[in-house]
Chains A and B, each alone.
Chain A
Amino acid sequence: MIFCLTQSVKLHGWLDNVLYFRSANLRCRFAAVVLFLILGVFSMLTVADAQNAPEASEKGKEVYEQSCAHCHGTEGRGDGAAAENLLPQPRDFTRGLYKIRSTESGELPTDQDLFDIITEGMPGSSMPGWETALSANERWEVVAYIKTFHSGFKEREAPPREISLEGKIPFSEESVEIGKGLYTELGCIECHGNVGRGDGTSAPTLTDAWNFQTWPANLTQGWTYRGGADTEDIFKRFIGGIAGSPMPAFEGDSFLHFGLTSEESKRLTELENMDEMTEADEEASNQFYEKMDEAVNVALTRAEGTELTAAEQRMYDDAMKIVYEKSWHLANYVKSLMPEERPEPAIGNNVLRSQYVQGGLPTIDDAAWETSEARYFPLVGQIIVEPRQFNPTIDAISVKSFYNDTEVVFLFTWDDRTYTTGDETDETTGKPLEDALAVQFPVKVPQGPTAPKPYFLGGGRLPVYLWHWKASAPEQVTELTAKGINAAEVQEVQADLQVKSTYTDGQYQLWVKRALKTEDKKDLQLESGVFVPIAFSAWDGSNGDIDTKRTITSWYTFVLEPVPSSRRFVYPPLIALLSFGLLIGLRAAVQRKNLEKLST
């Protein structure tokens, strides 16, 4: 029970953020409920003091120096002792640039925004959530304190303008369809790519306000969003923009034909596309332009802080009504790009099962793959052995598999924002930087939970059998044997592996087929019904991944599902426990390693 509790406390906590573990599988229901109740009380308390933080006090400073300063720096410049390795860097509060706001572009956040982000933390970065580590009171105090780092908070004359969430358009297919058009029209595509995987043509060259490289969000992975992936969150993010990042604000007149009704807009588009205009057409389009200029003028007058007349206000409201409608459609479209929740990791009931088929196995683009549910393997940055990856860009790998009497085929799928094949080299090693994937199996399947585990990150005893694929040789997988993270050797005898791969819209697909049995003693031999450990490493060349600087999974399990059975295959609880244990083991290994470091 205590174990469970710590797990769920951690769920929103420190380690999860630091190590990028946010796996819901560690949830222990009962504890979570208890925690939820406690937090519920907290949030009720906070409603009472919502909106405005108290005056900055000694207490706030104390909390800050104890909990925040080692990242954000004593003076709030984002230069604390721990900042060095982190990307994105801990925020420099002195410039007043805040990403997650409910306020319009150019405005500072509300106190509530700051309170919320401190409470929740920022997924995909090292910014932890403080929901459990600090009381609501302490969080309010620290909000007041961090505001003192930027004079803009004190100097602002009026409360910041908040983005109105009125008139939300519910999610529907039509709405998503309209939103999809806007996604292209507004140019989200430039950075976020055709289907939102953060692979737009501008993605590789983006830098933040502090000149650090930064990547556009992979919109298909809502759990990596800094500020939450509810439709409302998305809506606020693109309207207000993400200050300090390259992400622009898409407000008011950023939208096509601001100030025109949708009929007028349609008509103007027609007129603009005409080869020849009559005088009347010319007149009509000029009227439209004038109307748009007026609307823009009113919007600017408002932005400049001048009071609008009643007529101007009406014009503004009319124009904004249309913009807000479009914005909800766009938010619905972005929402449609992601699964409702982050997929569960492939443990317990979600163990990777290779399905038996009679006859030929599906090719890479076979529709048969659609019939099989992908299993999901979250990746984390490898930070135990030098060189390390503190800022991983690959989130997870999905796997499907089929087998027949003689062969097994896998389809590995993972998102990578750039297609990197080794044109650039790593500065320290001189080796080419390229995208790659390794799939690890033990050479011999361990028998039972007490058998020695295959090596993991250099600590184990048994060699592993590896498939190594590189983007520069897209139709080839090399077999390796490894006795440690840095001790891999190419096998002398290479099995006859069939390999195909594709890279489309920020996603790799790798298809590998091998015989169940090979002659080579160094290869893994496969048998139906036997649970086989499997683990992955992935390299994103454009993120500087090379050698041990990469993303990794812990050991999972896969099985060639015994055939053909109409009954659901039941997994021995032992296996479920084992893979759960290994997941915890990875955590423990990371912790141990760091503690060792500390004591030396």
Chain B
Amino acid sequence: MKTYLLASLAILLVCCAVGPTFAADSDAEVEALVFPDSYTASSVSNGGTINGVVKFEGDVPEMKMLEITKDQAVCGATEKYDEAVVVGEGNALKNTIVYLIDISQGKDFDKATKLEMDQQGCQFTPHVQIVPVGVRLTMLNSDKVNHNVHIFSSVNKPVNKQQTKNRRKMPLAAVKKAEGPVSVKCDIHGWMSAWIAYVPHPYFAVTNEKGEFTLEDVPAGTYKLGYWHEACGSNSEAPVSVTVEAGGTVTQDFALKLK
């Protein structure tokens, strides 16, 4: 009885204690990619191509210089910038995922490509990495410093694993489910940030510094074409419809604004 009294007293104490509120970074919910319910891989002959350019619309925000707080010799050798918005010549927007939302049948993954993400000069490269479900991603450590690879998965198991300075290659267990993009961080170097999308089919592309993307070997048909960008959001609510003809090429450009 006494303990209950105490407990409720303490509850009251906690409830009525007023103090400052903490300002956590406003962590706007990250929009997710949309995956088909199922996907069957088969050989695709005479598929079409979807390509295009993603541009940034509006005043281009100045790239924020990163504050390098440790391991200066390795991390601070050159100036580093926040890669949330990377806009190139002609407003080309890098690091945008462009993908087919509703494809249920098509080619298989290219098994030969090595999937790697490097930690170089205390930045992740690439900044956005597509990883097929069931395939291992290898984390590289080109820096002679300790990193920890922290992948904030929630559908799959979250990962937070130290990759010490002498571990050049660290393959990670393959995941079972499509998910993402999920945030990747290194807590040791708090500014390091990247994204991984675990995908169930190969029709995903990430725009290069010219804003270009290409999806090849698309079976003829009409598809919803989606995009995702870290700072500009996604169009999963209202994707663009594209029709691909056998052997043909369609071009679909995008102009994205900050969320």
Q: Is the CB of B2 within 8 A of A248?
A: no
Of the 9-residue stretches A13-21, A454-462, A485-493, which lies at the interface with chain B?
A13-21
A204 within 8 A of B: yes
A71 to B3, CA, bound (A): 19
The distance in angstroms between the C-alpha atoms of A598 and B17, with both chains bound, is 9
Q: Quick one: CB contact mask for A572-597 with B, threshold 8 Å, 1 for yes?
A: 00000000000000000001001101
Does B161 contact A6, Cβ atoms closer than 8 Å? no
Bound-state Cα–Cα, A571 to B14, Å: 38
B18 within 8 A of A: yes
8 Å CB interface, A379-415 against B: 383, 386-388, 390
Stretch at the interface among A77-85, A310-318, A511-519: A77-85
Within B116-165, the residues touching A (CB, 8 Å) are 136, 146, 148-150, 152, 154, 157-165
In the complex formed, the residue of A with least CB distance to B14 is A82
Distance to closest chain B CB from A482 (angstroms): 23
Task: Known A300-B136, A300-B171; judge A210-B14 contact (CB<8 A).
Answer: no
Binary interface encoding of chain A residues 118-138 relative to chain B, with 1 for a CB under 8 A from any of its CBs, else 0: 000000001010001100000
Residue B173 at the chain A interface, CB threshold 8 Å: yes
B160 touches A201 (CB 8 A): no
Flag B40-51 by CB within 8 Å of A: 1 or 0 each. Answer: 000000000000
The reply to whether B146 and A106 contact each other, CB–CB distance below 8 Å, is no
Closest chain B residue, CB of each to CB of A243: B158
Residue of A nearest to B173 (CB): A303
Q: Are B14 and A71 closer than 8 Å at their CB atoms?
A: yes
Contact at B3–A211, with CB atoms within 8 Å? no
Instruction: Collect the chain B residues with CB atoms within 8 Å of residue A26's CB.
Output: none
Measured CB to CB, the nearest residue on chain B to A544 is: B20
With a cutoff of 8 Å between Cβ atoms, the chain A residues found around residue B69 in the complex are: 201, 204-205
* In the complex, residue of chain B having the shortest beta-carbon distance to the beta carbon of A428: B20
Q: Are B6 and A387 in contact (CB under 8 A)?
A: no
In the complex, how many angstroms separate the beta carbon of A597 from the nearest chain B beta carbon?
A: 5
Point out the residues of chain B lying under 8 angstroms from A591, CB to CB: 9, 13
Is A206 interfacial (CB-CB < 8 Å)?
A: yes
Known: A202-B187, A202-B188, A383-B17. A128 touches B161 (CB 8 A): no
Q: Is A535 interfacial (CB-CB < 8 Å)?
A: no
* Chain A contacts for B70, CB-based, 8 A: 201-202
B21 close to A84 (CB less than 8 A):
yes
Judge if B174 is at the interface, Cβ distance under 8 Å.
Answer: yes
Q: How many residues of B contact A (CB 8 A)?
A: 54
A184-227 toward B: CB 8 Å interface, digit per residue (1/0)?
A: 01110011000000000110111101111000000000000000
- Which of B16, B161, B162, B190 has its CB near the most chain A CB atoms (within 10 A)? B162
Residues of B close to A132: CB separation below 8 A: 3
Q: Given the interface contacts A15-B6, A85-B18, A187-B162, does A210 sit within 8 Å of B27 by beta carbon?
A: yes
Q: Does A96 lie within 8 Å of B173, measured CB to CB? A: no
* Closest beta carbon of chain B to A12's beta carbon, Å: 10
B16 to A: closest C-beta gap in Å: 5
Interface readout for A56-93 with B: 1 if CB under 8 Å, 0 if not? 00000000000100110000000001101111000000
A-B contacts, CB under 8 A, total: 165
Expressed in whole angstroms, the Cα–Cα distance for A126 and B27 within the complex equals: 24
On whether the beta carbons of B173 and A246 are closer than 8 Å, the reply is no
Interface hits, B148-205 → A, CB 8 Å: 148-150, 152, 154, 157-167, 170-174, 176, 187-191
Across the interface, which residues of A come within 8 angstroms of B161, CB to CB? 105, 241, 248-249, 251, 254
Residues of B within 8 A of A263 (CB): none
In contact, A106 and B24 (Cβ under 8 angstroms)? no
B189 touching A202, Cβ below 8 Å: yes
Known contacts A202-B189, A204-B69, A248-B160; A388/B10 CB under 8 A:
no
A177 interface residue, CB < 8 Å from B? no
Is the CB–CB distance between B14 and A126 below 8 Å? yes
Q: Which residues of A contact B172 (CB under 8 A)?
A: 300
| Measured CA separation A383–B170 after assembly (Å) | 47
Instruction: Tell me the complex Cα distance, A241–B3, Å.
Output: 34
Quick check: B19 and A387 within 8 Å, CB to CB?
A: yes
In the bound complex, what is the Cα–Cα distance between A256 and B9 (angstroms)? 51
Chain A residues in 8 Å Cβ range of B136: 300
The residue in chain B whose Cβ has the minimal distance to the Cβ of A84 is: B21
- Tell me how many residues of A have a C-beta within 8 Å of chain B: 69
Q: Is B15 an interface residue (CB 8 A)?
A: yes
Report Cα–Cα, A594/B189, bound state, in Å.
41
A97 on interface, CB distance cutoff 8 Å = yes
Contact yes or no, A304 B173, CB < 8 A: yes
A446 to chain B: closest CB distance in Å? 30
* Bound-state Cα–Cα, A86 to B70, Å: 29
Say whether A32 faces chain B, with CB atoms less than 8 Å apart. no
* B146–A304 CB distance below 8 A: no
Q: Does B37 contact A (CB under 8 A)?
A: no
CB-defined interface of A366-390 with B at 8 Å, one 1/0 digit per residue?
A: 0000000000000000010011101
Check: A95 CB closer than 8 A to any chain B CB. Answer: yes
Which residues from A are CB-within-8-Å of B159? Answer: 105-106
B11 at the interface (CB under 8 A from A): yes
A253→B2 contact, CB < 8 A: no
| A9 and B3 contact, CB distance less than 8 A | yes
A190 and B188 contacting across the interface, CB-CB below 8 Å:
yes
B contact residues around A186 at 8 Å (CB): 162, 164
- What is the CA–CA distance of A97 and B157 in the complex, to the nearest angstrom? 10
Closest Cβ of chain B to A162, distance in Å, is 15
Residue of A nearest to B174 (CB): A304
Q: Contacts A9-B3, A202-B189, A597-B18 given; indicate if A97 touches B24 (C-beta within 8 A).
A: no
Interface contact A13-B188, CB-CB below 8 Å: no
Query: When the two chains form their complex, are residues B190 and A207 in contact, meaning their CB atoms are under 8 A apart?
Result: yes
Measured CA separation A389–B18 after assembly (Å): 11
The residue that A133 contacts in the complex, of B7, B162, B188, with Cβ under 8 A, is B7
The answer to whether A107 touches B157, judged by C-beta atoms less than 8 angstroms apart, is: yes
CB distance from A599 to the nearest CB of B (A): 9
The answer to whether B10 and A246 touch across the interface, beta carbons within 8 angstroms, is: no
**Is the pair B14, A254 in contact by a Cβ cutoff of 8 Å?**
no
Closest CB in chain B relative to A133 CB, distance in Å: 4
Q: List 25 A-B pairs, Cβ < 8 Å.
A: A13-B3, A13-B10, A18-B13, A81-B15, A82-B11, A85-B17, A185-B164, A190-B146, A207-B187, A211-B24, A211-B27, A212-B22, A241-B160, A246-B160, A253-B170, A254-B162, A256-B164, A256-B166, A297-B171, A300-B171, A300-B174, A303-B173, A387-B19, A388-B17, A388-B19
User: Which 7 A-B residue pairs are closest in the complex by CB-CB distance?
Assistant: A106-B157, A14-B10, A246-B187, A187-B146, A205-B190, A303-B173, A82-B14
